[in-house]
Amino acid sequence: MKKCLVIGGGFAGLSASVFLSEQNVEVTLLEASPKLGGRAYSILDNNGKNPYDNGQHILMGCYYDTLNFLSKINALDRLDIQDSLNVTFVKRGGKEYKLKSPKHFYPFNLLYGIINYKAVSMKSRLKMIDFFIDLIFCDEDDLGGLTVLQWLKEKKQSDEAIEALWKIITVGALNTTVEEASAKIFAGILKQIFLNGSKAAAIVVPNTGLSELYAQKSAEYILSRGGSINPSERVLKFVTDQNKIREVSTDKNHYKDFDFVISAVPVYSLEKIFNNSNISTNDFNLPSLKYSPILNIHLWLKQNPFSKKFYGLVGSQFHWLFNHEGHISITTSSAEKIINEPNEKILKDLYSDLEIYFPIFETGFVTDYQIVKERRATFIPDTNSEGAREKVVNQIWNFILAGDWTNTGLPSTIESAVISGRLAADRVIAF
């Protein structure tokens, strides 16, 4: 039986471990934190009971690898899956606009959804349809070096269309601004979401906390197949010889009995391990990536006036509101402008916007709150990151890289992490 050490217990490490366990590879998972989940996990409220997530993570119907992974660990019943794209956007004053495509007659259902998206003028909607038609024939490689904003302007997209749709998609999917995001990566995401069948654009929201959704279920799966999970164990260094890792040292153990090692940690964490080892980061050409924060605010309400599962806020610095009945979660991606502000200022601005966008909301409804700041939530998929991720090499034959930052062709998403985990597992199994 093959033996594999997996370093990192987020989506990439857990999915790799599950896929390996399915193929009867003996897995030992090492996680520096006392919890599993990486940057996607649940926290208990002040009473130690009701869980809330460190950030609202959504999936989409086109997340095929993620849905396959969740199916393997028997977690699909913990998802609310739309039949087709259906999003409510809100402008100041409380006016709601639907971006909704019927589940039948793909791909014309998307055109129907756009033509009825009345948050922008008919002229802008027609230009948006032109854009999607051009997207069908677009080669992403032709967009190398362009930002999303430059591409949108080339395609005659109006300012109102950029504000009411393209900016929301860019910031939500890439966690950066249209001025900085790579058009090449954005085009790939748009094709995956909108040109991959009617269900691809459907939004999928967990109906439990993230830890319950996948971390606990993954652990049960791995343990049931003879694997082991060691939390609160930090990898310190590798010992290599003849292009092979011979030993992995942690703050608790020295591991020598393994065939392969999968690293499923962020690149900055891997660099620390390399610096303590007889390995040069130059040999791997690890990418130098910039990171963007995500701000999440959870509000517990004595009276919940919201009727939809989620809303997109057009023109607000707070981008999405998710309704969990007992509490609501407000997400700001690419939150550089507000992440360092005092909590009191953040709450004051949030309450002001909520009352402007939702006249049904009153600050007095709030009974408790939590603010979660993920300062390095995702890497920024800018034009520099495109080539940097492609140039990563591997000089050690029994060492395999995984993580959303590896060259999956996707930005820093759950799907990218799971794809990297599956690919890493496939390489171990192929040997």
- The 10s digit of each residue's pLDDT in 178-221 is 999 999 999 999 999 998 888 899 999 999 999 999 999 999 99
Q: What are the two backbone dihedrals, phi and then psi, of residue 246, each rounded to the nearest 5 degrees? A: -100, -25
Mean pLDDT of 234-238: 97
Tens digits of residue pLDDT in 57-112:
889 999 999 999 999 999 999 999 999 899 999 999 999 999 999 888 777 888 89
Q: What is the pLDDT of residue 103?
A: 81
Among 100-104, 242-246, 386-390, 419-423, top mean pLDDT goes to 419-423
Q: Residues 350, 355, 358, 360: what is their CA dihedral angle, to the nearest 10 degrees?
A: 130
Mean pLDDT of 356-371: 95
Measured between alpha carbons, how far is 171 from 149 in angstroms, rounded to an integer?
Answer: 12
Instruction: Give the chain's mean pLDDT.
Output: 94
Q: What is the pLDDT of residue 55?
A: 84
**What's the CATH code, domain 3-41+64-75+207-289+392-430?**
3.50.50.60
> Is residue 48 scored above 70 in pLDDT?
no
In this prediction, residue 149 has a pLDDT band, given cuts at 50, 70 and 90, of very high
Candidates 9, 31, 2, 5; CA nearest to 417 is 9
> Is residue 282 scored above 90 in pLDDT?
no
Q: What is the pLDDT of residue 108?
A: 82
In this prediction, residue 56 has a pLDDT band, given cuts at 50, 70 and 90, of confident
Alpha helices in 58-147 (DSSP H): 64-72, 108-115, 122-136
Which fold is adopted by the domain 291-378? Polyamine Oxidase; Chain A, domain 2 (3.90.660)
Tokens of 394: 């591997």
In this prediction, residue 278 has a pLDDT band, given cuts at 50, 70 and 90, of confident
